[in-house]
Structure 1
Amino acid sequence: MKLSGLSLLLVINSATCWSLKADTLPPLEAWQGQSEQLIQSAASSWVTPAELTKLTDSPDYAATMAYVHKLVASSDMLELEQFGTSAQGRAIFVVKASKQLAKMAQNTKRPLLLVQAGIHSGEIDGKDAGLMLLRDIVHGDKQALLENVDLLFVPIFSVDGHERRSAYSRMNQRGPSIQGWRATAQNLNLNRDYSKADAPEMQAMLQLINKYDPDLYLDIHVTDGEDYQYDITYGFNHASAAISVNSASWLTKLYRPTIDQALQQAGHVPGPLVFGIDSQDFAKGLSGWTATPRYSNGYGDVRHLPTILVENHSLKPYKQRVLGTYTLLEATLGLLDQQGKALMLAKQADQHARPKRMVLSYTDNTNPVLINFKGISYQTASSEYSGATYVKWTGEPTLYANLPVYWQNVVERDIAIPTAYWLPPQQQEVIQRLRIHGIKFDVINKAQKISAQQLTVTDYHFAKEPFESRLTITDAEFSREQSLHSIEQGWVRVSTDQPLGRLAVALLEPTAPDSFFKWGFMLGLFQRTEYFEPYAIEPLIDRLLEQQPKLKQQFAEALAENSALKADPRARYDWFYQKLPYYDQQFLKYPILIEL
């Protein structure tokens, strides 16, 4: 039978899709672990939707929430709260789990764990692990996990991304069979949005954090990149490069040893959160990352909320990753039962600290730490398609002995912490974001004069293309002038003498890597809106030179030094225009004053 053009195309497309479903990823080690005993069979009354697929797939939003509603209704230890709405109108829920539910928002004596799944919804391991654990707490033998600890569990954070489901979402990842999308419906990456808080989902999450003030925050991801033996890696800003040094010390000395041991006993291989320096030559070493406040772990560090970024390994099967996440969550609750009070004290110490200086950014240490890294061997191959070489992982375990790790813990930029920042009332977007972050400020009710620094941009560069729906400033230099300023009613004063004072610095200090300025909240300062005509400025230049004769010599020197000025008549006019009182005095002025 002869096929029409359309029919032939459909057959070709069908065959192509079928072939793409085959596993083309690197070879895989066989795995068995004690944690496999956690899986319930289809005969169980409370088997989760993912378990029905033997942990090869993950349910959609409707099926997930149907199970959640059923589970919550079955236990007086669980309560469901909608804390936000996505851009497409989907409800975002948190499951509250406690033996003292009524006191969760006010209870300062019980450690509170916040677990977040699906910030990147193709990386949904945490959702299915969390549902299994909640089930075992309320209908199994693990109620003791909530004896002295409370839990907040967000099964799906990026709910719109979760519903952009496809078998072809993440080509670098083994399962689930159908995966959500990395970004939200507004094409925002929520794990780049903590500081700027543009997405409605992120604004809701920050308000949830403000409401419940958790003591530990777990953000569950799946990583890409190199192959290695570890099936679960996790990290946090290390004490050597942390703003919340007491919390970082607790995570280093108590959390990691305890969790690693629990994972190993369950048959998993935990590892540090590190990244290869050279994708073509893994043996060159690793980079140890210090996150900035756009990321969950960097944001948690700067607001004194101990935060762990969990990265399951994308090349490991979905079942293995989910069970590793379950084990990590269970062990975390167990540790908080034993050592949660110590973490709460460490967190309080960080909140009460008032250092004189603050590091804004770090760079790599050139003196590496040597570790034995459980890697996978690889070969370098040439591509006939790209013309370049690429790495082919063999699936064979190999130990990289004494592999160098270059931790990002050398101070690159730091500042003396100001006493306060002063914002004019027209900075409504910035003021509103401060409110969402939970930063306290005072609204001035009468005019006054203050001595403060005014910053002027002297050099700057914009990014070549938008990033996360914003035109960002990649770098900028400033001059700083201390002087008296008139403050009118309605101005806002943000004191740094508060628990979130370091977060205020990270957002309002324009040289900070994730400041509102760098994210492009104040692009208006780069725009001049009043100009001149030659017939008006010519006589004004004559009068200016009469009053300031030295300007004529300065102008001649400027012409001699600047060929662009010499060649551009308008630029020459502009040289004089900047000396006149008609010039826009707000042009390139950072609109926030800094009180030292």
Structure 2
Amino acid sequence: MFAFLLSSLLFAAPATDWRTPFEKGDGNTTATYAECIAYYQRLDAAYPEITMREVGPTDIGQPLHEVVISLDGDADPVSVRRKNRRILLIQNGIHPGEPEGIDASMMLARDYVQKKELRRQLEDVTLVIIPAYNIDGMLNRSATSRANQNGPREYGFRGNARNLDLNRDYIKQDSRNARSFAQLFQRWQPDVFVDTHTSDGADYQYTMTLIDTQKDKLHPALSQYMQQHLLPTLYAGMEKKKWPLTPYVDFEGRTPESGLHGFLETPRYSTGYTTLFNTIGFMTETHMWKAFAPRVHTTYAFLDLLVHTVHRDAAQIAQAHNTANQQVLTQAEFPLSWELDTTAADKVNFRGYEGRTKTSEVSGLPRLYYDRKAPFTRPVKFFNTYRPTATAQRPAAYLIPQAWADVLDRLRSSNVQLQRLTRDTVLTAEVYYIDDYKTGARPYEGHYLHSQVKLRTEQQQLTLRKGDFVAWLNQPAARYLIETLEPQATDSFFAWGFFDSILQQKEYFSDYVFEDLAADLLRRDPNLRQQLEARRQADPAFAKSAQAQLDFVYRHSPYYEKSHLRYPVVRWQNGVLPASPEN
């Protein structure tokens, strides 16, 4: 009798409700931060295949989380790689006003442990999800910060607690969020990375557009696999799911028919950073003026299809990734900046709306609008070939004085292997001088960016101190080192202003004192006198300026500080150094 009653109670117990906040709502709501974390905590408690843990701090004081989905419960990156599993990392909420990925990933995590037909895809794939990257912005919730967007009813804010756009912070790492991400990424070393977004811009028929790692920037072995296998599968698969894709809609003309431009994600961006470590990257960009529910469902469809494809192509991805990792260890030349080749174009069949003009109710002047009653499908040019505009030859190592702690901290967070000099050392090496550069007139993400850097190279005898650092280039982070430490690289540490103190002269001269010293220098150095005279002949303005001529002599004298404009990171080409691994 007791057993019968117990059995009746068990059968009468209500089933666990695993619907997400989005699924419980009306299709126009997104999970709050508290709801998102609580949902993953429930999954973690209920399913041994799911591990949720804190992985580092953020600027708002809340921890960054990772959710690991692994059929055998193995959440150790080293062990997972040893088992030869492919690793797929999904990041959500970098811009919390673009929250589709947050809600889609919650459903995806649940379905991949509850549905038998999906679990099979994880036999050789480990799925890692960052539930919300910009926690700061997710907590800053409102209904008005994205005027161009059709839902959800409330959402987060683009900037983080320091008002940083975190998708410009991967190299400079001003935020704790970015430093925590770098450490998470380096632990997992994923094969494929996805960053979920919503796009602004033109109107068109697609619910989702896609940014894939720019093919010319990705290592050739990975680029070939991506172009020939991965992208065709994703485009065909999304078409079959009734969620057709197009390349990200970026163009310079009046409307998209002028031609789409492939997006160049430099290392400041998430997929630009991950590319430096031979990870295939995607940014999904749902269209802001489509309703929120379809945006969530198309994001889910893409993520699900990507898991299936990584499972299908696990061996191919492993081979391409390993080839890229091995070849970068000996690669001799590295591109530093890129330019779009407007003479090379493919064609894509673009599904758009006709752009028309009508009178603005605000200004009374002509304004552009997209006529949804006039859809079209027509071929448009797709410009997606980039050519290097600057390159650097690989040195054997970079020598980095210990004084530049901010730079060294960022190298460490990106898993750069460093050694320290064990004694003071005098050596002759190649150094850069900054001959010219341009600086933005306004701050950009907390920095005044430098560009158009021109360098002069000298061989100099230098003294390095015990405790200074050596970064050898025969390591997986070689490309990262090149693109951060070569000053002319687009997103180098110099470009972001980490070395700005070298740009300021610390000593100078008083005219009435240096006049006599300069005259004596010219008497004792006929070659310097000839240089001065040649400059006078070539430049009439210079010839009329006593100050300019004194400055010329000063800069060519022993009194002028050699450290002015000298880039402190030294390129070392060969030879043994008295160094040992950093403790």
State the TM-score, normalizing by the size of structure 2.
Answer: 0.90
**Cα separation, 1, equivalents of 2:56 and 2:296:** 26
Matched, 1:102 2:85: no
Displacement after TM superposition at 1:267 (Å) = 2.0
User: Is 1:58 equivalent to 2:33 in the alignment?
Assistant: no
The count of aligned residue pairs is 553
Q: 1:251 to 1:367 in 2, by over 3 A?
A: closer
1:190 corresponds to which residue? Answer: 166
- The one-letter amino acid of 1:203's match is R
1:481 to 458, 461, 470: 458
Aligned equivalent of 2:311, options 337, 340, 365: 337
Counterpart contact for 1:226–1:276, Cα < 8 Å: no
Task: Give the secondary-structure state (helix, strand or coil) at the position aligned to 2:313.
Answer: helix
Q: Give CA-to-partner distance per residue, 1:192-250, whole Å, 9 cap, x none.
A: 111222211010001001112222111111111111112112232343x1242222222
- d(CA) in 2 for partners of 1:310, 1:197: 23
Equivalent residue for 2:104?
A: 129
Deviation at 1:127, TM superposition (A): 0.7
Which of the residues 89, 108, 123 maps onto 2:61? Answer: 89
Q: Is the 8 A contact 1:379 1:393 kept in 2?
A: yes
Which residue in the other structure is 2:133 paired with?
A: 157
Unpaired segments ≥5 residues, structure 1:
1-41
Residue 413 of structure 2 corresponds to 436
Match of 2:228 among 240, 247, 253: 253
Question: Which runs of 5 or more structure 2 residues have no equivalent in the other structure?
Answer: 1-13, 574-583
Letter in 2 for 1:197: Q
| Contact 2:36–2:106 (Cα < 8 Å) also in 1 | no
> Residue type of the partner of 2:448?
L
Partner SS, residue 321 of structure 2: helix
Q: Secondary structure at the match of 2:274?
A: helix
Deviation at 1:296, TM superposition (A): 1.6
Question: Shift in Å at residue 537 of structure 1?
Answer: 1.3
Distance 1:387 1:304 in 2: 52
Shift of 1:571: 3.2
Match of 1:11 in 2: none
Report how far residue 82 of structure 1 moved: 0.8
SS of 1:537's partner is helix
Q: Distance in 2 between matches of 1:484 and 1:451?
A: 4
Give the Cα–Cα distance (whole angstroms) in 2 for the partners of residues 272 and 471 of structure 1: 31
Aligned positions of 1:180-579 closer than 5 A = 180-239=156-215, 241-278=216-253, 280-353=254-327, 354-365=330-341, 366-381=343-358, 383=360, 385=362, 389-396=366-373, 398-562=375-539, 564-566=541-543, 568-579=545-556
Deviation, structure 1 residue 483:
4.0
Q: Is the 8 A contact 2:55 2:180 kept in 1?
A: yes
Question: Larger deviation: 417-426 or 314-323?
Answer: 417-426
> Which amino acid is the alignment partner of residue 234 of structure 1?
L
- The one-letter amino acid paired with 1:201 is N
Provide closer, same or farther for how the CA distance between residues 479 and 84 of structure 1 changes in structure 2, counting only shifts above 3 A: same
Q: CA deviation at 1:251?
A: 2.1
Residue 17 of structure 2 is matched in structure 1 by 45
CA contact under 8 A between 2:417 and 2:471: conserved in structure 1? yes
Go from structure 1 to structure 2 and tell me whether the alpha carbon gap of 1:90 and 1:563 turns closer, same or farther (over 3 Å shift).
Answer: farther
- Mark the CA change 1:146 to 1:562 in structure 2 (over 3 Å): closer, same or farther: same
Query: How many Å apart are 1:564 and its aligned residue?
Result: 4.9
Distance 1:248 1:559 in 2: 55
Distance in structure 1 (CA, Å) of the matches to 2:364 and 2:561: 53
In structure 2, do the counterparts of structure 1 residues 387 and 430 end up closer, same or farther at CA, with 3 Å as the change threshold?
farther
Q: Distance in 2 between matches of 1:389 and 1:526?
A: 48
Question: How far apart are the structure 2 equivalents of 1:439 and 1:317?
Answer: 44
2:161 aligned counterpart, secondary structure:
coil
Deviations 1:84-109 (A, max 9, x none): 22212122211111123335312221
Q: Is 1:111 equivalent to 2:86 in the alignment?
A: yes
The amino acid across from 1:588 in the alignment is L
Aligned to 2:250, what secondary structure does the other structure show?
A: strand
1:302-347 deviation per Cα after TM superposition (whole angstroms, max 9, x unaligned): 2111211111121211111111111111112222222123212211
Tell me how far 1:168 sits from its aligned partner: 0.7
C-alpha deviations, 1:171-211, integer Å up to 9, x for none?
Answer: 12211111211121111111111122221101000100111
Q: Is the 8 A contact 2:419 2:469 kept in 1?
A: yes
Could you tell me how far apart the structure 1 residues matched to 2:540 and 2:373 are?
Answer: 62
Which stretch shifts more, 568-577 or 295-304?
Answer: 568-577
Kindly state the Cα deviation for residue 576 of structure 1 after the two structures are TM-superposed. 2.1
| SS of structure 2 residue aligned to 1:51 | helix
Between the aligned partners of 1:399 and 1:246, the Cα distance in structure 2 is 37
- Please give the secondary structure, in 1, of the residue aligned with 2:145: coil
* Deviation for aligned residue 1:58: 0.7
2:239, 2:144 → 1: CA distance?
32
Structure 1 573/236 Cα, relative in aligned 2: closer, same or farther at 3 Å? same
Report the Cα distance in structure 2 between the residues aligned to 1:545 and 1:78, rounded to whole angstroms: 77
CA–CA distance in structure 2, aligned partners of residues 496 and 397 of structure 1: 56
Residue 76 of structure 1 pairs with residue 48 of structure 2: yes
* Alpha-carbon distance in 2 for matches of 1:297, 1:540: 56
Q: Residue 449 and residue 233 in structure 1: after superposition, are their counterparts in 2 closer, same or farther (change >3 A)?
A: same
Q: Residue 350 of structure 1: SS of its match in structure 2?
A: helix
Which amino acid is the alignment partner of residue 119 of structure 2?
Q
Distance in 1 between residues matched to 2:71 and 2:349, nearest whole Å: 43
Question: What letter is aligned with 1:307?
Answer: G
| Residues 168-187 of structure 1 aligned to structure 2 (within 5 Å) | 168-187=144-163
CA contact (8 A) 2:337 2:489 kept: yes
Kept after mapping to 1: 8 A contact 2:249/2:256: no
TM-score by length of 1: 0.88
Q: Is the 8 A contact 1:121 1:179 kept in 2?
A: yes
**Structure 1 residues 94-103 or 125-134, which shifts more?**
94-103
Which position in structure 2 is the counterpart of 1:15? none
Taking the aligned partners of 1:425 and 1:237, their CA distance within structure 2 comes to: 34
CA contact (8 A) 2:451 2:488 kept: no
Residue 139 in structure 1 maps to residue 91 in structure 2: no
Tell me whether 406-415 or 166-175 shows the greater mean CA deviation. Answer: 406-415
Report the identity percentage.
29
The structure-2 alpha-carbon separation of the partners of 1:387 and 1:453, relative to structure 1 and needing over 3 Å to count, comes to farther
- SS at the partner of 1:275? coil
Residues 1:575 and 1:307: Cα distance change in structure 2 (over 3 Å): same
Q: Distance in 1 between matches of 2:470 and 2:110?
A: 48
Q: Give the deviation of 1:54 after TM superposition.
A: 2.9
**Counterpart-to-counterpart distance in 2, 1:281 and 1:274:** 10
Q: CA deviation at 1:382?
A: 5.0
| Secondary structure, counterpart of 1:591 in structure 2 | coil
Are the counterparts in 2 of residues 290 and 408 from structure 1 also a CA contact under 8 Å?
A: no
